[in-house]
Amino acid sequence: MDPLAQYDTVIVGGGPAGLTAALALTRYRHRALVAESPAPPRNRASRGVHGMIGLEGATPAQVRARAWAELDGYGLAERRDVTVEDVTRAEGGGFHVSLGDGATAWSRTVLLTTGVIDVHPAGVEGFAECWGRTVIHCPFCLGWENAERTWGLVADDPEHAAMAAAGFGAWSADVIAIAAPGMARAAETRRTLRAAGSDLVEGEIVRLHHRDGDLHTVEMSDGTLVERQTLLWSPPQRQVPLVTRLTRSLGLALDDGFVAVGTDQQTSVPGLYAAGDLTTRWEQGAVNAAGAGATAADALHFAHGR
């Protein structure tokens, strides 16, 4: 790469948000660079992405390969398998984008589509093997694959635990809540859940017993064994290191841990846009991310058109 290759937009991240934006910007005849970290993506454990019409059940790798085949057909968007290390303001306008291979690009605008990092619980044996199969973060993504099984909702607080009685009947008639010891209003929550045919188990989960990722028993630190075939477990999330760095260096604003954007996906930093999971906790998903990527592309075109 020319040390100061010039782009209309550098897109950081090549998931559904970034690649949808790349396709739209290509069709608007913008020159875009998609920088995609070579590390495996967040949904690497997925055996098939669900809910994307026309791509139902395709693996994450197949979705990305298909997107690049489409982009390559236009021959305008450039791809680099490299991590973006930093984004700084350039004198005279635009941004300098520092890439992990030592190159620097100049871009009029930057679109962050870096997703989020799931912070998996430390020390729970069997979690990694079951994650994305029978330990699921979202019923909309993987409820179908786990239908008619016994479910445990790993809950953080009484309101969350109460959902065990009502929220997941479409997939399972047997859903209990599992909460860490000391959860507030535990006795009251247990009574309410039992009255609704559910239950609350309190304990610290230490081991998931499974056969090749097919969960059958949850073991607590006191040795209690709870027979469950599926856990609905949404671990905490954090931003990727680049985004955390930009909060300090560019003053990129977060809202409750997620990148704050307007309806046009513009962040608090003029010219810096964000789309996809990094902007939202409860509206994540491949299609939502793709939609936000498309919105960002339209906004970039109209606000910074060529």
Ligand X SMILES: Cc1cc2nc3c(=O)[nH]c(=O)nc-3n(C[C@H](O)[C@H](O)[C@H](O)COP(=O)(O)OP(=O)(O)OC[C@H]3O[C@@H](n4cnc5c(N)ncnc54)[C@H](O)[C@@H]3O)c2cc1C
Binding flag, residue 17, ligand X (CB under 6 A):
yes
Nearer to ligand X, 186 or 254 (CB): 254
Binding flag, residue 113, ligand X (CB under 6 A):
yes
Binding flag, residue 146, ligand X (CB under 6 A):
no
d(CA 20, CA 293): 6
- Provide the minimum distance between the beta carbon of 248 and ligand X in the complex, in angstroms, as a whole number: 15
- Provide the minimum distance between the beta carbon of 285 and ligand X in the complex, in angstroms, as a whole number: 4
Cβ atoms 205, 130 nearer than 8 A: no
Select the residue interacting with ligand X from 12, 135, 200, 205 (CB under 6 A): 12
Select the residue interacting with ligand X from 141, 179, 193, 261 (CB under 6 A): 141
Cβ atoms 172, 148 nearer than 8 A: yes
Select the residue interacting with ligand X from 16, 94, 139, 271 (CB under 6 A): 16
Binding flag, residue 26, ligand X (CB under 6 A):
no
Q: Positive or negative CA dihedral for 175, 181, 183, 189?
A: positive
Binding flag, residue 277, ligand X (CB under 6 A):
yes
Binding flag, residue 37, ligand X (CB under 6 A):
yes
Binding flag, residue 107, ligand X (CB under 6 A):
no
Binding flag, residue 50, ligand X (CB under 6 A):
yes
Binding flag, residue 271, ligand X (CB under 6 A):
no
What are the C-alpha distances in Å from 259 to residues 113, 178, 204, 236, 302? Answer: 10, 30, 32, 16, 22
Sequence-separated (6 or more) residues with CB below 8 Å from residue 68: 19, 79
What are the C-alpha distances in Å from 255 to residues 108, 160, 252? Answer: 25, 21, 10
Closest-CA residue to 34 (of 75, 102, 81, 86): 81
What are the C-alpha distances in Å from 195 to residues 156, 188, 202? Answer: 21, 11, 17
For residue 201, the cross-strand partners are 178
Nearer to ligand X, 175 or 259 (CB): 259
For residue 118, the cross-strand partners are 237
Nearer to ligand X, 119 or 180 (CB): 119
Select the residue interacting with ligand X from 242, 272, 296, 299 (CB under 6 A): 242
Count other C-beta atoms under 10 Å from residue 302's C-beta.
10
Select the residue interacting with ligand X from 5, 8, 15, 215 (CB under 6 A): 15
Select the residue interacting with ligand X from 8, 22, 25, 43 (CB under 6 A): 43
Residues 171-210, mask of contacts with ligand X (x by CB under 6 A): ----------------------------------------
3-state secondary structure of 135: strand
Query: Which residues contact ligand X by CB under 6 A?
Result: 12-18, 35-37, 39, 41-43, 45-46, 49-51, 83-84, 113-115, 132, 137, 141, 240, 242, 276-277, 284-287, 289
